[in-house]
Amino acid sequence: MKTLRLILGDQLNIKHSWFKQTNDNVVYCMFEMRQETDYVVHHIQKVIGFFAAMRVFSKELEINGHRVIYFKINDKENKQNLNDNLNQIIKNNQIERFEYQLPDEYRLDEQLSRFCKSISISNQVYDSEHFYTKRHDLETFFKGKKIYLMENFYRDMRKKHDVLMIANQPEGGKWNYDKSNRNAWKEDVSIPAFKFFNNDVSEVVIDIKQAVIKTVGVFNTNTFLYPITRQQALEQLKFFCENLLIHFGDYQDAMHTDEVYLFHSRLSFAVNIKLISPKDVVKTVINYYRIHEKNIHISQVEGFIRQIIGWREYMRGMYWAFMPNYNKINVLENFNKLPNFFWTGKTKMNCLKQTITNSLENGYAHHIQRLMVAGNYALLTQTHPNEVDAWYLGIYVDAIEWVQLPNTRGMSQYADGGKIATKPYVSSAAYIHKMGNYCNECYYNKNKKTEKDACPFNSLYWNFLDEKRQYLEGNFRMRMMYSVLDKMKSTDLQNIKTRAQHIIQHQDEY
């Protein structure tokens, strides 16, 4: 029986059991399609990265003896959408069976389920063999609970997978070293120069230009910076262990004008397209730690492991627990538009300028820039979560809906009313100043609230709390903020609100 197996662009898992044996009756197919390049405006480097990694992967399969049909973006036979491409191949190659791996995005999951109903040949769906958890494990874990606390899920994952556990107790005596992950980076702690990959992607770039795909961001060289093969991903992981793990936890939340990546791993693109699995990552990091325990504190390792088996799996579980409605919720009823400077970086607010410029130049910003600068600002200016989602889904090379959506709409924008975050991640200039050096070089004064040169975050913050009182006042974790707000003189609050309204209405002037 001749079988067609689909490999999606984020399913580049060479370790998948599909590839253990070659079989002349199995044909693999991979497509670069307008369906995928056009559903949101992506960063140019994201499109390049996906196509480049897919092309290398298909070559690797062929070298290993597998049969592959690959449609490049400008190929004549490419119908530019999944159903038409599959139907065409099924018809032209007398295919008798269709197989695919579970997609991670709801949209593709629906499309493929519908497609299977529409064809007359048999079909089967396989696990992608990537994650620790199955799609609905988290939902089962929290069944009957009102609050979906990540920490509870994370502890269960540690126990279940015996990660950093000794005799059923957390190694080092604590489950979570989050409190020691909050240092600002001092330049006297050196960051080893990162070895980027010189992936020549000039051919891909020409194809993208020829196809006239609308993109954001810039790409100034012909080399793509992030791993596009499993080998490169493993090299990057090794570099992380040898050079960055030692301070990962310490400076996880730090921000600095001179350092785009600080001690972050830059592994998200490679893991999200499945070049390596979260199990590969955890195993490698823990093995390295075992050999170097004397030099690396458990807080660094736990801080990193928490991101992988905690946050990453948790976000995926939340996505599947709450889709298909999750991408529509807007509990705080925010309706404003994102300012134009999110696409240019042209703003006098230095924290936003740095974060957005990094994002446009590298398709990357680290977690705290995404959460406490760009996300914080979008929430304080009461931006519609659809606008915020579209920006985040497009701008980052690692952005795939299953992980972008719960992080953005849930964690960052609190649009789900607190399913993910126990309180909104909002702050005035104080937090941004504490965690980095942006305020030192800013046009605005971090200590002022209403003057012409006052930091916009300061008035936006109190205005937000005042305007969203009906949704947030009852939240136990917000009580202290509201008691400060309640003690504010009404004239002071009025001045703050007047300034905040002006900022919201003239965002591109700030």
Interface residues toward ligand SF4, by CB under 6 A: 349-351, 429, 432-433, 438-439, 442, 444, 446, 455-457
In the list ligand FAD, ligand SF4, none, the entry touching 308 (Cβ below 5 to 8 angstroms by class) is ligand FAD
Q: How many Cβ atoms sit within 10 Å of the Cβ of residue 38?
A: 12
Q: Which does 16 bind (CB under 5 to 8 A by kind): ligand SF4, ligand FAD, none?
A: none
SS3 307: helix
Q: Site for ligand FAD (CB under 6 A): which residue of 61, 285, 308, 318? A: 308
DSSP state of 123: E
Task: Please report whether residue 266 would count as binding ligand FAD according to CB under 6 A.
Answer: yes
Q: Which is nearer to ligand SF4, 93 or 357 (CB)?
A: 357
SS3 480: helix
Report the residue from 30, 371, 439, 460 that binds ligand FAD according to the rule CB under 6 A. 371
User: Least distance from C-beta 349 to ligand SF4, angstroms?
Assistant: 4
Q: Does 375 bind ligand FAD (CB under 6 A)?
A: yes
Q: Give me the 410-429 binding string for ligand FAD, x by CB under 6 A, dash otherwise.
A: -xx-----------------
Task: Determine the Cα–Cα distance for residues 87 and 95; give it in Å rounded to an integer.
Answer: 10
> Is 398 among the residues that bind ligand FAD (CB under 6 A)?
yes
Nearest distance in Å: CB 51, ligand SF4: 36
| Residue in the block written with tokens 């389920």 | 113
Answer whether 228's CB lies under 8 Å from 56's CB.
yes
DSSP letter at 194 equals: P
Say whether residue 496 binds ligand FAD (CB under 6 A). no
Contact status: 367 vs ligand FAD (CB under 6 A): yes
Environment class of 440 (CB within 10 Å of its CB; exposed 0-12, middle 13-18, buried 19+) = exposed
Contact between 301 and ligand FAD per CB under 6 A: no
Q: What is the DSSP code string of 37-71?
A: HSSS-EEHHHHHHHHHHHHHHHHHHHHTT-EEEEE
73 binds ligand FAD (CB under 6 A): no
Query: Distance between the two ends of the chain, CA-based, in angstroms?
Result: 64
Q: Which residue from 46, 274, 370, 433 is in contact with ligand FAD, where contact means CB under 6 A?
A: 370
Q: How far is the CB of 350 from ligand SF4 (least distance, A)?
A: 4
Which is closer to ligand FAD, CB of 266 or CB of 433? 266
For 41, other C-beta atoms within 10 Å of its C-beta total 18
C-beta of 509: minimal distance to ligand SF4 in Å? 14
Cα Rg of the chain (Å, integer): 24
* Contact partner, 181, from ligand SF4, ligand FAD, none, Cβ < 5-8 Å per class: none
Nearest in space to 272 (alpha carbons), one of 144, 399, 444: 399
Is 381 a binding residue for ligand FAD by CB under 6 A? The answer is no
Per-residue string for binding with ligand FAD, 216-255, x by CB under 6 A? ----------------------------------------
Q: Is there binding between residue 47 and ligand FAD (CB under 6 A)?
A: no
Neighbour-count burial for 186-210, b at 16+ CB within 10 Å, e otherwise? eeeeebeeeeebebebeebbebbee
# chain residues binding ligand FAD, by CB under 6 A:
27
Q: Which is nearer to ligand SF4, 351 or 393 (CB)?
A: 351
The residue among 126, 130, 142 whose CA lies nearest residue 5 is 126
Nearest one of 396, 418, 408 to 468, comparing CA atoms: 418
Q: Examine residue 385 and say whether the peptide bond preceding it is cis (omega within 30 degrees of 0).
A: no
Q: Pick what 438 binds: ligand FAD, ligand SF4, none; C-beta below 5 to 8 Å, kind-dependent.
A: ligand SF4
- Three-state DSSP at 281 gives helix
**Minimum distance from residue 143 beta carbon to ligand FAD (Å):** 22
How far apart (Å, rounded) are the C-alpha atoms in residues 280 and 276? 6
- C-alpha dihedral, 443 to 446 to 448 to 453, nearest 10°: 10
Question: Cα angle at 272 between 301 and 394, to 5 degrees?
Answer: 120
Q: Which CB sits closer to ligand SF4, 306 or 433? A: 433
Report in angstroms how near the CB of residue 12 gets to ligand FAD at its nearest.
Answer: 15
Give the footprint of ligand FAD on this chain (CB under 6 A). 264-268, 271-272, 307-308, 311-312, 315, 366-367, 370-371, 375, 392, 396, 398-399, 403-404, 407-408, 411-412
